[in-house]
Amino acid sequence: MTVKVRFAPSPTGHLHVGNIRAALVNWLFARQQGGVFVLRIDDTDIARSTAEYEDAIRADLTWLGLNWDETFRQSDRFERYQEVVEKLKAEGRLYPCYETSEELDIKRKVQMGRGKPPVYDRAALDLTSEQIADYKAQGRSPHWRFKLDVPARISWTDLIRGDVSIDLASVSDPILIRGDGSFLYTLPSVVDDADFGITHIVRGEDHVTNSAVQVQLFEALGAKAPEMAHFALLTGKGGEGLSKRHGAMSIGEYRDEAGLEAMSIVSLLARVGTSEPIEAFSSIGALVTGFDFSKFSRGTAKLDVADLEILNAKILHMTDYASIKDRLEGVDEAFWNAVRPNLKKLSDIADWQRMVSGPVIPIIEDAEHMAKAASLLPAGTLTEDSWKQWTDLIKAETGVKGKGLFMPLRLALTGQSQGPDMASLVPLIGRDKILSRLKGQTG
Instruction: Compute the radius of gyration of the chain from its Cα atoms.
Output: 31
Element counts in the chain: helices (H) and strands (E): 18, 12
How high is the mean pLDDT of the chain? 94
Q: Please determine, for residue 95, whether its predicted confidence score (pLDDT) is greater than 80.
A: yes
In contact, 276 and 291? CB cutoff 8 Å: no
The predicted pLDDT at position 198 comes to: 98
Cβ-Cβ contacts under 8 Å for 100 (sequence gap 6 or more)? 140
In contact, 334 and 427? CB cutoff 8 Å: yes
Q: Which domains does the chain have, with CATH numbers?
A: 4-71+185-233 (3.40.50.620), 80-177 (3.90.800.10), 236-321 (1.10.1160.10), 350-438 (1.10.10.350)
| pLDDT band per the 50, 70, 90 thresholds, residue 326 | very high
SS3 201: strand
What stretch of H or E contains 145? strand 143-146
10-58: per-residue pLDDT in tens?
999 999 999 999 999 999 999 999 999 999 999 999 999 999 999 999 9
199, HSE (Cβ side, Cα atoms, 13 Å): 11
- Residue 208 CA to residue 231 CA, distance in Å, equals 10
SS3 150: coil
Q: Please determine, for residue 183, whether its predicted confidence score (pLDDT) is greater than 70.
A: yes
Q: Please determine, for residue 190, whether its predicted confidence score (pLDDT) is greater than 90.
A: yes
347-368: per-residue pLDDT in tens?
999 999 999 998 999 999 999 9
| pLDDT band per the 50, 70, 90 thresholds, residue 71 | very high
238-284: per-residue pLDDT in tens?
888 876 555 568 999 999 999 999 999 999 999 999 999 999 999 99
| pLDDT band per the 50, 70, 90 thresholds, residue 443 | confident
Q: Please determine, for residue 124, whether its predicted confidence score (pLDDT) is greater than 90.
A: yes
| Of the candidate ranges 145-154, 255-264, 311-320, 371-380, the one whose mean pLDDT is the lowest | 371-380
Distances (CA, A) of 10 to 50, 74, 177: 9, 10, 17
Q: Please determine, for residue 300, whether its predicted confidence score (pLDDT) is greater than 90.
A: no
Nearest to 406 by CA among 415, 436, 395: 395
Question: Phi/psi at 119 (nearest 5 deg)?
Answer: -100, 135
One DSSP character per residue, 114-132 reads TT-------GGGG--HHHH
What stretch of H or E contains 188? helix 186-195
In contact, 103 and 121? CB cutoff 8 Å: no
The predicted pLDDT at position 246 comes to: 56
In contact, 157 and 228? CB cutoff 8 Å: no
401-410: per-residue pLDDT in tens?
999 999 999 9
The one-letter amino acid at 258: A
Q: Please determine, for residue 199, whether its predicted confidence score (pLDDT) is greater than 80.
A: yes
What's the rounded mean pLDDT across residues 95-110? Answer: 94
Distances (CA, A) of 362 to 338, 388, 443: 20, 21, 8
Cβ-Cβ contacts under 8 Å for 379 (sequence gap 6 or more)? none
204-236: per-residue pLDDT in tens?
999 999 999 999 999 999 999 999 999 999 998
Across 420-432, b (16+ Cβ under 10 Å) vs e yields: bebbbbbbbbebe
Nearest to 183 by CA among 105, 33, 74, 63: 74
Nearest to 265 by CA among 256, 273, 255, 257: 255
- Residue 310 CA to residue 313 CA, distance in Å, equals 5
Sign of CA pseudo-dihedral 307, 313, 318, 322? positive
Q: Is the peptide bond before 359 cis (omega within 30 degrees of 0)?
A: yes
